[in-house]
Amino acid sequence: MGRTDEVLSIKIKLEKLVSKDKDSIASKAPDMIRTLSGLKLDLKVLEKTKIGFTLDKVRKETSDEAVKKSAKELLKKWHGLNKKSSTEKSAPEEKTESAVAPDWEATAPLPTRNKKGQMVFQDAPEFRPNLSPKEVLQLGSFGGTYFRPIHSSVTKKKYGSEVWEELPKDWLEGLTVRTQVASIVYTESKNKYNVKCGASLEEWENSGWMREQDPYGWFQWYCRFYQGRRTEDDERQIGRWKKCAGEKGRWKNNLISKIAKAGVAFDNYGVSPVVRQTLQHWAYQLTSEDFDKEKKRFQ
């Protein structure tokens, strides 16, 4: 049995433990974690098996402190491989402190950035936004309202300043939180392209897209994923991004098509400012390289 198959076998067993009860985790998980720790795993195996997600799930589900500790130590060891490797050797951005400590734990390192300007998440190779959460905010987004006070119909709870105070302080430097981050009034002029776009919170909630862990939606998820949080909802949210701004993304190709047919430069902001603003909210800004690659299909 190869290492990949061995890891997958352990992963299946751990998943079954999590679905049973906490006593089963406490009694059976330690041996499996020791076995994983003894294997010399490289990034290729870790990425292929996604064992880190399963082990983190075990860590969160168990009430046994010894299991929590051993799982956390092994996760740190694997994340160390992430930091040391990378064929795209951009240095990760430095993380700064938040005003309020988040109620989640980071289990992955900050992303690096490749030569194309894309974010590189070693455990999510198909997720390549080219705007960081800080850049999305600093460019002017969501009409200044994204982290406004809300009452979530999903969680049945109210949220206020704690949601934006969770962000690293430098993300908000130069911004007026009251009007550019947590305003209760949507103002088009606060957006980079001076247009309104996007659905209301109620529409997103009614559509079934919202999850309790991120009651504000996709961008809140991205802020947390960027900082190293990993959850079971990551695959779904990354899939949504791909459909919007990925290589075959609907809105990305919609914008390229309109520019190509208009016969103007890729950065002519007079073409589809609403689509450009939408893509910015999804952490993507059209580049000349992406435009040149796809424009012939639409001309």
Arithmetic mean of pLDDT, 77-101:
60
Asked whether the predicted pLDDT for residue 87 surpasses 60, the reply is no
Total-model pTM: 0.70
Indicate the length of the chain as a whole number: 299
Secondary structure class of 150 (helix, strand, coil)? strand
Tell me the pLDDT tens digit for each residue of 22-60: 677 888 888 888 888 887 777 778 767 878 878 877 887
**Low-confidence winner among 17-21, 23-27, 151-155, 256-260 (lowest mean pLDDT):** 17-21
- Phi first, then psi, for residue 191 (nearest 5°) are -85, 150
Which residues have C-beta within 8 Å of that of residue 292, sequence separation ≥ 6? Answer: 266
Asked whether the predicted pLDDT for residue 70 surpasses 90, the reply is no
DSSP-H helix ranges across the chain: 3-20, 22-38, 43-49, 51-61, 65-84, 133-139, 162-165, 177-180, 201-207, 218-226, 234-245, 250-262, 273-281, 288-294
pLDDT attached to residue 213: 96
147 close to 160: Cβ distance less than 8 angstroms: no
Tell me the pLDDT tens digit for each residue of 167-205: 999 999 999 999 999 999 999 999 999 999 988 888 888
- Phi first, then psi, for residue 282 (nearest 5°) are -100, 20
In the chain the domains, ranked by start, together with CATH numbers, are 3-84 (1.20.930.10), 133-297 (no CATH)
154 close to 212: Cβ distance less than 8 angstroms: yes
**Low-confidence winner among 2-11, 73-82, 168-177 (lowest mean pLDDT):** 73-82
